[in-house]
């Protein structure tokens, strides 16, 4: 009976009832999920109502009411802040990867990472000592 004609319920006291029955335009899936979540939320709300006065329940209620009244997720400043946080973590990871790759040596003295490339400065001195050894190993 509740799946078909249950009335909407105001879960958290913000005067926006949530309906889960088929008569209010829901399908079978949401008709099964929403009344279950409403029942759990009503029970939890009752538990929070009976809890100690300055607990976490007021914070949850404030967050829900603030979101409903201001729709903070659609604010362009919030979107820029989220994008900035993601970009900051991306750039931090890129910089950490760059520093790590410059500190950890991936080649040995007998093997260059780029044997075809040009060498300059002190690399030429090292190359004069190492390249003849590499060429003799290839010829063998």
Q: Which residues of 72-100 are buried (b: 16+ CB within 10 A; e: fewer)?
A: eeeeeeeeeeeeeeeeeeeeeeeeeeeee
Give φ, ψ of 29 to 5 degrees.
-65, -55
Look up the pTM and report it: 0.31
Q: Please list the ranges in the chain whose pLDDT falls under 70.
A: 1-3, 11-12, 20-22, 24-35, 37-38, 41-58, 103-140
Give the pLDDT of residue 63. Answer: 78
- Structure tokens of 121? 């400065």
Q: What's the CA gap between 83 and 31, in Å, rounded?
A: 36
Give the pLDDT of residue 54. Answer: 57
Cα-based angle 42, 46, 52 (whole degrees, multiple of 5): 145
Give the pLDDT of residue 82. Answer: 92
Inter-residue contact 41 to 10 (CB < 8 Å): no
């Amino acid at each position: 009976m509740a799946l078909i004609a249950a009335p909407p319920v105001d879960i958290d006291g913000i005067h926006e009832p949530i309906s889960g029955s088929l008569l209010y335009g829901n399908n079978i899936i949401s008709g099964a999920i929403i009344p279950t979540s409403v029942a759990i939320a009503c029970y939890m709300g009752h538990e929070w109502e009976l809890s100690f006065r300055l607990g976490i329940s007021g914070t949850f209620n404030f967050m829900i009411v603030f979101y409903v009244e201001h729709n903070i997720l659609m604010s362009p400043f919030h979107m820029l802040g989220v994008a900035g946080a993601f970009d900051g973590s991306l750039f931090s990871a890129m910089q950490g990867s760059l520093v790590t790759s410059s500190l950890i040596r991936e080649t040995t003295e007998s093997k260059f990472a780029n044997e075809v490339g040009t060498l300059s400065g002190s690399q030429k001195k090292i190359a004069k000592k190492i390249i003849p050894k590499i060429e003799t190993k290839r010829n063998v």
